[in-house]
């Protein structure tokens, strides 16, 4: 299916692995020229035709550098996907509201909210000029808190930002939408040394048992976890020419039950 994206230009944040890498691959397959920024460049990313930029997007300098280099490379930006987020265990601090230090809150907001805010602000003039499209990758945790509290709250802020930008820039031709996955089969969930493994260890249960119990509690209608490629296809559709703006598309297998 041709999504009408051939010849477009895109910036994808956090494109080195997981959902971001799947988005990069999907857009490249659709004929999009892609620049992606992340803290590291993986062998899998090098195999794509995307132009990688090594930056720390949790900082103001990283966001500015990414858009400056992307504009120089692409000439202008038609598409922005704000995907950067939790990657390895250095991004996590386990604990409840009374235990979580302020630095952990600040790190989550820098990574999930302020990175998107800064990159969007830097890219918006080009998106307005080209009547472009922006997708933020949030999480169902924004509407179903119960996971790591700082993560869920920062993602709720990101979801609200997407709606606010859609209202402000829709009249100028820029469509802004959010894609909110549930659990996705990336290392965060599948790697015993990753986040889910740390949670399992904290509870004193095997990793496989923890993942199975978590999925049973979340009760997806489809009975399975989402793949990165399924999220990427949803993102590509939201970026394709259409009249969808201000939406929050849940890609969670039916975990969220409310109407």
Q: Determine which one of 38, 58, 138, 139 is catalytic.
A: 138
Q: Determine which one of 151, 154, 180, 196 is catalytic.
A: 151
pLDDT of residue 91: 57
Structural domain span for residue 154 = 9-184+227-250
DSSP string over 59-104? SHHHHHHHHHHHHHHHSS-SEEEE-----SGGG-----TTTS-HHH
Does 39 reside within a domain? yes
pLDDT digits (tens, 9 = 90+) for 55-96: 999 999 999 999 999 999 999 999 999 999 875 545 566 778
Which residue, among 30, 55, 25, 50, has the nearest Cα to 40 in the 3D structure?
Answer: 55
Q: Model confidence at 201, in pLDDT bands (50, 70, 90)?
A: confident
Q: Count other C-beta atoms under 10 Å from residue 178's C-beta.
A: 27
Q: What pTM does this model have?
A: 0.95
Asked if 252 and 181 touch (Cβ cutoff 8 Å), the reply is yes
State yes or no: pLDDT of 158 exceeds 60. Answer: yes
pLDDT digits (tens, 9 = 90+) for 130-149: 999 999 999 999 999 887 89
Region 23-36: mean pLDDT is 98
- Establish whether 138 is a catalytic residue: yes
Q: What does the radius of gyration of the chain's CA atoms come to, in whole angstroms?
A: 18
Q: Determine which one of 155, 180, 196, 245 is catalytic.
A: 155
pLDDT of residue 179: 98
Does 259 reside within a domain? no
Instruction: Give the angle 7-8-14 at the CA atoms, nearest 5°.
Output: 130
Does 112 reside within a domain? yes
Tell me: do 56 and 94 sit in the same domain: yes
pLDDT digits (tens, 9 = 90+) for 105-119: 999 999 999 999 999
Asked if 28 and 236 touch (Cβ cutoff 8 Å), the reply is no
Q: Which are the contacts of 241, defined by CB distance < 8 A and separation ≥ 6? A: 4
- Establish whether 151 is a catalytic residue: yes
Does 89 reside within a domain? yes
- Establish whether 17 is a catalytic residue: no
Asked if 114 and 73 touch (Cβ cutoff 8 Å), the reply is no
């Amino acid at each position: 299916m041709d999504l009408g994206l051939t010849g477009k230009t895109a910036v994808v944040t956090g494109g080195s692995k997981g959902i971001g890498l799947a988005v990069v691959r999907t857009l490249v397959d659709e004929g999009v020229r892609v620049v992606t920024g992340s803290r590291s460049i993986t062998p899998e990313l090098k195999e794509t035709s995307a132009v990688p930029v090594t930056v720390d997007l949790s900082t103001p300098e990283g966001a500015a550098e990414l858009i400056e280099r992307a504009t120089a490379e692409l000439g202008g930006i038609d598409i922005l996907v704000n995907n950067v987020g939790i990657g390895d265990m250095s991004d996590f601090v386990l604990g409840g509201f009374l235990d979580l230090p302020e630095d952990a809150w600040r790190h989550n907001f820098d990574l999930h909210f302020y990175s998107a805010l800064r990159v969007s602000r830097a890219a918006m003039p080009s998106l307005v000029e080209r009547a472009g499209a922006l997708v933020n990758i949030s999480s169902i945790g924004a509407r179903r808190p119960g996971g790591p509290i700082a993560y869920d709250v920062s993602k709720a802020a990101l979801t609200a930002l997407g709606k606010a930008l859609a209202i402000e820039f829709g009249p100028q031709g820029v469509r802004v939408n959010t894609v909110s996955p549930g659990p996705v089969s990336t290392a965060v969930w599948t790697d015993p040394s990753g986040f889910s493994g740390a949670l399992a260890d904290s509870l004193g249960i095997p990793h496989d048992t923890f993942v199975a119990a978590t999925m049973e509690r979340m009760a997806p209608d489809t009975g399975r976890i989402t793949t990165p490629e399924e999220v990427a296809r949803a993102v590509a559709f939201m970026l394709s020419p259409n009249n969808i703006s201000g939406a929050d598309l849940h890609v969670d297998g039916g975990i969220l039950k409310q109407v």
